Amino acid sequence: MKPYPLARTAAVAVVVTAATLVVAGPAAAHVTVNPGTAVQGGWTKVSFRVPNEKDTGDTTRVEVNLPTATPIASVSLRPVTGWTAVAEKTKLPTPIRTDDGEITEAVTRITWTAAPTAVIKPGQFQEFDVSLGPLPDADQVVFKALQTYSDGDVVRWIDEPTPGVEAAHPAPVLRLTAAATDDAVASAPPAPTAASTDDSSDDGYGYGLAGVLLGLAGLVAGLLAYRRTTRNG
């Protein structure tokens, strides 16, 4: 007996879905920086999210490289339980000018190494928080990352973004937007003011109207009484 068309359609859908998951699975397990956007010239706290993409190995070491072409003057690390963090500085070819003077060196590499009890096991992920600022006047900051496994395998997440090309090992990218200018803030329409919730004037108006109505009612009653008296007389 031939299968019903609906059964065939469902079977095809299951096969296609399974194939899609198989293809998309490895690509979705790359190292990322979150959130993925920030403001030029500002400060931000980002998290480098590192998932374990292997079934037979633990992640024991994570290395993140900061670009020297767009250096960041201040880099602070949040401690991660069971991990040792080392921030390496490099002398800059062009010093960074700040309000506190020139900075001639900046952090260009951060390395986290796990204790045996803190490794990232299969099916797990870890986040490494970093405070950065001031952010450069650029469209983006590319952080090339290396992920080391317990079996000695090193995955290099270093492919820079290319329009129209899906990278096999994309590097974490922080996209930067321009800060709002004073002119833009000045030209912004004023925020609407909330309507007053004081209803004392409404109450006064209501009482006045009630008095007028009562007066009219009394006048009408008086006229009717006068007419009845006139007729009886």
User: CA-CA distance, 90 to 93, in Å (whole number)?
Assistant: 9
Residue 151 has a pLDDT of 96
State the pLDDT at residue 185: 53
Using pLDDT thresholds of 50, 70 and 90, give the confidence band for residue 109: very high
- The pLDDT value recorded for residue 26 is 41
- Banded pLDDT at 34 (limits 50, 70, 90): very high
21 pLDDT above the threshold of 90 = no
Q: Which residue has the tokens 């803030």?
A: 185
Sign of the alpha-carbon dihedral angle for 184, 185, 186, 188: positive
**Structure confidence at residue 27 (pLDDT):** 44
C-alpha 174/C-alpha 135 separation (Å) is 10
220 vs 66 pLDDT, higher one: 66
129-174 pLDDT, tens digit per residue, is: 999 999 999 999 999 999 999 999 999 999 999 999 999 999 999 9
User: Which carries the bigger pLDDT value, residue 9 or residue 115?
Assistant: 115
CB 125 within 8 A of CB 47: no
The candidate with the shortest Cα–Cα distance to 23, out of 197, 168, 194, 229, is: 168
pLDDT surpasses 90 at 110: yes
pLDDT > 50? residue 124: yes
User: In the structure, what pLDDT confidence band is assigned to residue 192 with cuts at 50, 70 and 90?
Assistant: low
**ω into 170 cis (within 30 of 0):** no
Task: Report the distance separating Cα 233 and Cα 227, nearest Å.
Answer: 10
Domain ranges of the chain: 29-178
Contact call for residues 65 and 144 (beta carbons, < 8 A): yes
Give the tens place of pLDDT for each residue, 174-188: 999 998 876 655 555
Q: Please tell me the predicted confidence (pLDDT) of residue 44.
A: 97
CATH class of 29-178: mainly beta
- Residue 197: the pLDDT is 47
Identity at 203, one-letter amino acid code: D
Return mean pLDDT, the chain: 80
The continuous run of DSSP H or E covering 94 comes out as: strand 83-98
Average pLDDT over residues 193-205: 49
pLDDT band at 23, cuts 50/70/90? very low
Task: Quote the pLDDT of residue 133.
Answer: 95
* Gap between the Cα atoms of 225 and 228, Å rounded: 5
Q: What is the pTM of this model?
A: 0.67
Averaged pLDDT for residues 4-33: 51
Q: What percent of the chain has pLDDT over 90?
A: 55
Backbone phi and psi for residue 55, each to the nearest 5 degrees, phi listed first: -95, -15
